[in-house]
Amino acid sequence: MIVPCLGINDNGHLTIAGRDALALAEKYGTPAYFIDEETIRANCRAYKAALSKYAPEGSIPLYAGKALCCAAIYRIIAEEGLGADVVSAGEIATAVLAGFPMERAYFHGNAKTDSDIRYAISAGVGTFVVDNFDELSALDRIAGELGVRQRVLLRITPGIDPHTHRKIITGSVDSKFGVAIETGQAINFVREALEKKSIELCGLHCHIGSQIFEPDPFIEAASIMVEFAKSCKKEFGWEPEILNLGGGFGVRYIEDHPHINIDENIKKVCGTVASICEEAGLRVPKIFLEPGRSIVANAGVTLYTVCSVKEITGYKNYVAVDGGMTDNPRYALYSSPYTIIVANRASEPADFECTVAGRCCESGDLLAEGVKIQKCERGDILAVLCTGAYNYSMASNYNRVPRPPIVMLAQGSEYIAVERESYDDIVRLDRVR
């Protein structure tokens, strides 16, 4: 199942976490994101269990909040004992609001401002993942001024191509992220970090990209990073306490996508790290991973109302809905495929080929092209599956469309994690003169 919490009831309606999708649409309006809490918890536990089996004690998954960032998620993540990858002061503020234990937060980003750095230190962020030399100097200076010795991981570019969408590759040498091993700059990055008075260098980080299905690129990255750790030991006598290998495990959006076995992948990656370390006489570092998508994507379903069905004779069919690129820009940006079901006709044959379009004044505002769904009409409810990641977090107010709410479905209870934006919210910051 693409989304494990789905079913079909006796009325032929889609159910989400045991609730009739039509009743949910009626109660909360559309468009709306529905997130199954149990799926998130199960995904967190799969990562935690595998790391505790295959990696040294103290190894933890850090949830990458960029995939879905709101206070309720940080609460759940904290309850599940994960750490967090935060990437902006806004994400930090959200985690703080949720009462997240900030010592378990890792602050990412390739362009942190002085004010971001000050804010993060004062919010008690445990560790910075430093992206570049300029940031390292700025952090050393500001931490010195604030009288702290800041824990740091260095973001290193291993220089590999994980064969995913061009826009979500991050580990190649010419990437805007991190400092490359290949050019010889990474070793100087470590040298500088070790020389800084207000920096405590704890380890190394890399992230090769996102929506990656094969284990090989992760294994390759892990081996390159351990080889690099070996050079660090040789050069400076310094060994990383933490090796953070980033996020990126792929998620099934459509039936054709392969299954990812989280346990199996982690076993292979940890095995590679351990065997190279042993050969090289390095202590095996704690292994951190930063899953975002694979924690929240398959917990989410977005419900829309069909506004029109347009059959362009001899060409194609459009189904237009009351949302689109403003709540899910992923098809517009990356041509990402989605599985779509007409929620009130879920048991009917999916034989109507169409393009599902959003409401924006822009031809590229599409959710899917050439998909087969049940024949539908205005007023029907459309469910787009697997929208828990990078939908709400990338949503916009283009065309001044308000953002949908996030409704959390828990066992025996449901609650609104983020309210629907109102027109007042839309104009709240406007000044007429």
Nearest to 17 by CA among 38, 46, 43, 40: 38
- Complex with ligand LLP: residue 285 or 291, whichever CB lies closer: 291
**What string of H, E and C letters represents the secondary structure of 52-105?**
HHHCCCCCCEEEEHHHCCCHHHHHHHHHCCCEEEECCHHHHHHHHHCCCCHHHE
| Contact predicate 417/408, CB 8 Å | yes
- Complex with ligand LLP: residue 275 or 396, whichever CB lies closer: 396
Residues identified as active-site: 361
Per-residue binder mask for ligand LLP (CB under 6 A), 222-261, x = binder: ------------------------xxxx------------
- Complex with ligand LLP: residue 330 or 359, whichever CB lies closer: 330
| Contact predicate 332/370, CB 8 Å | no
Per-residue binder mask for ligand LLP (CB under 6 A), 390-409, x = binder: x---x---------------
**Could you say which residues in the range 74-133 bind ligand LLP, by CB under 6 A?**
85, 108
In whole angstroms, the minimum distance from the beta carbon of 158 to ligand LLP comes to 13
Under DSSP, is residue 219 helix (H, G, I), strand (E, B) or coil?
Answer: helix
In whole angstroms, the minimum distance from the beta carbon of 414 to ligand LLP comes to 25
- Entry field: residues in the chain: 433
Q: Choose, by CB under 6 A, the member of 41, 293, 345, 359 that binds ligand LLP.
A: 293
**Could you say which residues in the range 358-387 bind ligand LLP, by CB under 6 A?**
none
Query: How far apart are alpha carbons 338 and 331 in whole angstroms?
Result: 8
Q: Which stretch binds ligand LLP (CB under 6 A): 29-37, 50-58, 229-237, 287-295?
A: 287-295
Exposure string for 128-146, b = 16+ CB within 10 A, e = fewer: bbbbbeebbebbbebbeee
In whole angstroms, the minimum distance from the beta carbon of 98 to ligand LLP comes to 19
- 294 sits near ligand LLP (criterion: CB under 6 A): yes
Query: How far apart are alpha carbons 25 and 34 in whole angstroms?
Result: 10
**Could you say which residues in the range 329-348 bind ligand LLP, by CB under 6 A?**
330, 334
**Could you say which residues in the range 192-221 bind ligand LLP, by CB under 6 A?**
207, 210-211
Burial of 4 (0-12, 13-18, 19+ CB in 10 A): middle
- In the complex, the residues that contact ligand LLP under the rule CB under 6 A are 64, 66-67, 85, 108, 168, 170, 207, 210-211, 246-249, 290-294, 330, 334, 390, 394
